[in-house]
């Protein structure tokens, strides 16, 4: 008899919430890497806080904050190569920015511009996926194509714990394992699928152990430890690139803010719970380590935050200044070659627009 309660699952951790840990493993990270990781995380936090305020001011549309999940996002994407493929959900802003997406591009997206969903050609980032877990299937398809073409790219599907309750997730896992494709399923378990807590989604102690049912490896990592996330992701990516198949990574973390700006988390979460996780803040633990090494100070922090705020303001103003287009553009972003009926509809829209302008 197989008893799931006896399944041993240990969480990978290098740096604890107080900035302490295995000194030998910590020593493997250079000062330069630690600084780059912290700057990326701090930049992400500033961007997230500014976007939240901008939404409240009516300057952008509905937004899904990610503060608290910076280590999971930054640590994982730093382990990728530039030509690896990313399949994000609506909360992977830090992932996309770190992989090269211009901040101005994201402002187009949150301001409802069609151009905001069209990634620059040189970026291997699929458009943001709103449908829960749908991107897991797309990532598997891309990885399958990579394998058939003999390329070395790795595909990464990013999703939350709520996505593991969707059929798409299980179908994607099964296909990925059966066809042994180079894809990483990266789950940020932030404890809530909107207002539904993890305990009401699954009876599994972890999401990572679900990998066993599909014949692939699974690992649980401290999602607030950027060092552990990076090392875990690096091993998974290297294995996938060697043709050793897919892997499921569960990064245990927490969403400090609301699910989206349309959500009120105080309706379903206790303040004590939020404070408990706030003490595990991924930025705090890394900053403690940097200060201990003499690499970071309050002055550097203030200077860096000011610089990022200037970057956000400039990107927003550039996006507002460059916004253009019309409803006719809707017809250009679905097919590489528009079907006859669609082309006729676009012509009709343009004619009506021109007629209206003449009046």
What is the assigned CATH class of domain 4-324? alpha beta
pLDDT, tens only, 2-22: 777 777 889 999 999 999 999
What is the domain partition of the chain in residue ranges? 4-324, 325-359
- State mean pLDDT over 71-77: 98
pLDDT, tens only, 256-274: 999 999 999 999 999 999 9
Alpha helices in the chain (DSSP H): 23-27, 31-56, 70-77, 93-98, 103-110, 134-149, 167-178, 226-241, 271-278, 282-292, 298-322, 340-358
Indicate whether 353 pLDDT > 90. no
Q: How confident is residue 356, by pLDDT bands cut at 50, 70 and 90?
A: confident
Torsion from C-alpha of 323, 263, 161, 201, nearest 10 degrees: -150
Dihedral sign from CA coordinates of 25, 28, 32, 33: negative
Q: Which residues are catalytic?
A: 255, 259, 268
């Amino acid at each position: 008899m197989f008893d799931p309660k006896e399944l041993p699952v240990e969480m990978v951790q290098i740096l604890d919430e107080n900035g302490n840990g295995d000194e030998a493993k910590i020593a493997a990270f250079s000062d330069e890497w630690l600084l780059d990781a912290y700057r990326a995380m701090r930049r992400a936090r500033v961007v997230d806080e500014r976007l939240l305020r901008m939404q409240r001011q009516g300057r952008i549309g509905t937004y899904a904050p990610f503060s608290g999940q910076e280590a999971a996002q930054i640590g994982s994407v730093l382990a990728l190569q530039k030509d690896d493929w990313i399949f994000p959900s609506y909360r992977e802003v830090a992932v996309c920015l770190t992989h090269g997406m211009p901040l101005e591009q994201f402002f187009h997206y949150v301001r409802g511009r069609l151009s905001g969903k069209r990634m620059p050609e040189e970026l291997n980032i699929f458009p943001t996926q709103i449908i829960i877990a749908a991107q897991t299937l797309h990532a598997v398809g891309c990885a399958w194509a990579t394998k058939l073409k003999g390329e070395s790219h790795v595909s990464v599907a990013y999703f939350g714990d709520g996505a593991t309750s969707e059929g798409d997730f299980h179908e994607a896992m099964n296909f990925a394992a059966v066809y042994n494709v180079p894809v990483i399923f990266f789950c940020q378990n932030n404890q809530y699928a909107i207002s539904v807590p993890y305990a009401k989604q699954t009876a599994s102690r972890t999401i990572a152990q679900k990998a066993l049912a599909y014949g692939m490896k699974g690992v649980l990592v401290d999602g607030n430890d950027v060092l552990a996330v990076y090392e875990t992701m690096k091993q998974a990516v290297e294995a996938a690139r060697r043709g050793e198949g897919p892997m499921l990574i569960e990064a245990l973390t927490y969403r400090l803010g609301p699910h989206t700006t349309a959500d009120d988390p105080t309706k379903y979460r206790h303040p004590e719970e939020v404070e408990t996780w706030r003490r595990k803040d991924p930025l705090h633990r890394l900053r403690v380590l940097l200060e201990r090494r003499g690499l970071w100070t309050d002055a550097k922090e203030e200077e860096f935050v000011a610089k990022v705020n200037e970057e956000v303001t400039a990107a927003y103003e550039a996006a507002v200044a460059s916004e253009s287009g019309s409803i006719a553009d809707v017809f250009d972003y679905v097919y590489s070659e528009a079907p006859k009926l669609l082309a006729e509809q676009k012509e009709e829209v343009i004619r009506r627009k021109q007629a209206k302008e003449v009046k």
